């Protein structure tokens, strides 16, 4: 069964600095998708960024970028120029390309941004 591990229950960063959140996953599949979701205090989940496993190029969305290491099964999220609004729970998620429709979530990392 696929599993997703986020080894950092909590992280903190100073405003305007850069932080990296870790995620590793376990799968025997070669085609899949990886996601980072943000859950702010309002508790509504918001997609931050996603990556297709067959693409070697790391995905980037404005201040958010990933470091995808397929062989190591690692999918870290880098937040540059951190803002107070980035404070939230961040969840890493995996989804198999075919045969399974569900997202498998990690337990999350709580990010605090200090002014």
Residue among 28, 30, 44, 62 that touches other proteins (CB under 8 A): 44
Using CB under 8 A as the binding rule, the residues of this chain from 55 to 84 that contact other proteins are none
Residue among 41, 85, 98, 115 that touches other proteins (CB under 8 A): 98
Contact 113, 15 (CB under 8 A): yes
Q: Is 9 exposed, middle or buried (0-12, 13-18, 19+ CB in 10 A)?
A: exposed
Binding site residues, other proteins, CB under 8 A:
4, 9, 31-33, 42-47, 50, 52, 91, 93, 95-98, 101-103, 105-108
């Amino acid at each position: 069964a696929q599993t997703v591990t986020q080894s950092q229950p909590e992280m903190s960063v100073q405003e305007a600095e850069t932080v990296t959140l870790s995620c590793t996953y376990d799968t025997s599949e070669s085609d899949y998708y990886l996601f980072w979701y943000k859950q702010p205090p309002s508790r509504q989940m918001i997609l931050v960024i996603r990556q297709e496993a067959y693409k070697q190029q790391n995905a980037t969305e404005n201040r958010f970028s990933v470091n995808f290491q397929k062989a190591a099964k690692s999918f870290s999220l880098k937040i540059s120029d951190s803002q107070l609004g980035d404070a939230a729970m961040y969840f890493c998620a995996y989804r198999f390309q075919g045969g399974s429709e569900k997202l498998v979530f990690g337990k999350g990392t709580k990010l605090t941004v200090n002014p």
